[in-house]
Amino acid sequence: MRKINNERHMEIETSASNLDILRELNKRDALDEELTKELKRVEAKNRGLKTVLNHLNHLGKNHWVYMTNVSLDSYNIFTCDLLLMTSTHLYPLEINHYDGLFEFKKELSLLNGKEPDQLPIESAQCVATLINAFSTIRSINLDVKGAAIFPSSTNQIRIYDEVPEIEIVGADQLDAFIKQMIRDEKNRNSDEKIDPRYIRWLREIDQQQPIWTIHISDEMKEHIHPGIACRACNGFDVTIGKEFVSCPCGKYEPLEEAIVRTICEYGVLNYEKSLYPPDLHLFFDNQISMEQIETCLAKHFSLVG
């Protein structure tokens, strides 16, 4: 399979993601209750996407292409977690990595007895409908088959009502679902070639929406734990020697690597700012001299402006 990117996706891949920011805030004890929930949600979504892509890369065809986090604009912004294109079909996939019991009854989604923050069945149906409409308008001659995928082995799924327009796929059904994709393509007597016009359309369907980035309030910044953290256990009880940083957990890291890594962590938390030695000196909590910081900046980072 081959991943398709456009300018927005390339910008996302070269910037700190919300998951990067949330993880760094969590490591440095600065997450509030709301963002702690957001971290759990984004972590779960990321695990689910990786699981589905691993299965697709193992079983899928080399000529298949896909995009992730496709932004669809239709009076409101909707996101398709994974949009897969074969030579005969489009598969908009909503991916939900849950623990516990998920139920859908009387048109209501419940996760462990409570309504989840996001509604997976409804989202999958809406996205499938939009993809079908957009592809029809542009004369994209591909069948649309949407699905809500629940790839976690610790997630039980109970569907009490008929769910139109999409399939519901559990962890133990994922491989069979992908093999059915292969059969669907083969049954259409496909030559396993995707029309280049369709790939151009796939790039264009993703709307160039501004990238939403976690806002770090001044209050949260005040609670950020400064200094070098152990790269293995994330603890801050480290000893800084002339050449190595050591941790009670038993891990060692070359000092220069630890400095560069921590500068990068500062950049994740201060993505709107340039790297100034005095600011970095404060972030290092005076563990590292200004001269060492300036040396690492000159050696490993590019001067701008």
The tens-digit pLDDT sequence of the chain (305 residues) is: 999 887 777 777 777 888 999 999 999 999 988 899 999 999 999 999 999 999 999 999 999 999 998 888 765 678 899 999 999 999 999 999 999 999 999 889 999 999 988 899 999 999 999 999 999 999 999 999 999 999 999 999 999 999 999 999 999 999 999 999 999 999 987 778 899 999 999 988 887 655 567 888 888 888 999 999 999 999 999 999 999 999 999 999 999 999 999 999 999 999 888 999 999 999 999 999 999 999 999 999 987 76
Report the pLDDT value the prediction gives residue 205, as an integer from 0 to 100.
85
Lookup: tokens for 145:
């088959």
Quote the pTM value: 0.86
Q: Where are the beta strands (DSSP E) in 32-127?
A: 65-73, 77-85, 89-95, 100-105, 108-111
Distances (CA, A) of 191 to 56, 86, 89, 194, 200: 20, 11, 13, 9, 19
The C-alpha atoms of residue 102 and residue 159 are separated, in whole angstroms, by 8
At residue 155, what is the residue type?
A: N
H or E element: which one contains 253?
A: strand 252-254
The C-alpha atoms of residue 256 and residue 298 are separated, in whole angstroms, by 13
Report the pLDDT value the prediction gives residue 242, as an integer from 0 to 100.
92
The C-alpha atoms of residue 217 and residue 27 are separated, in whole angstroms, by 17
Report the pLDDT value the prediction gives residue 71, as an integer from 0 to 100.
84
Report the pLDDT value the prediction gives residue 209, as an integer from 0 to 100.
59
Q: Name 104's bridge partners.
A: 109, 159
Lookup: tokens for 175:
């491989």
The CA-CA-CA angle for residues 217, 223, 226, to 5°, reads 115
At residue 166, what is the residue type?
A: I
Q: Where are the beta strands (DSSP E) in 108-234?
A: 108-111, 143-144, 146-150, 155-159, 166-170
Report the pLDDT value the prediction gives residue 131, as an integer from 0 to 100.
94
Distances (CA, A) of 177 to 111, 129, 185, 261: 23, 20, 13, 41
Report the pLDDT value the prediction gives residue 272, as an integer from 0 to 100.
83
8 Å CB contact between 35 and 25: yes
The C-alpha atoms of residue 220 and residue 89 are separated, in whole angstroms, by 46
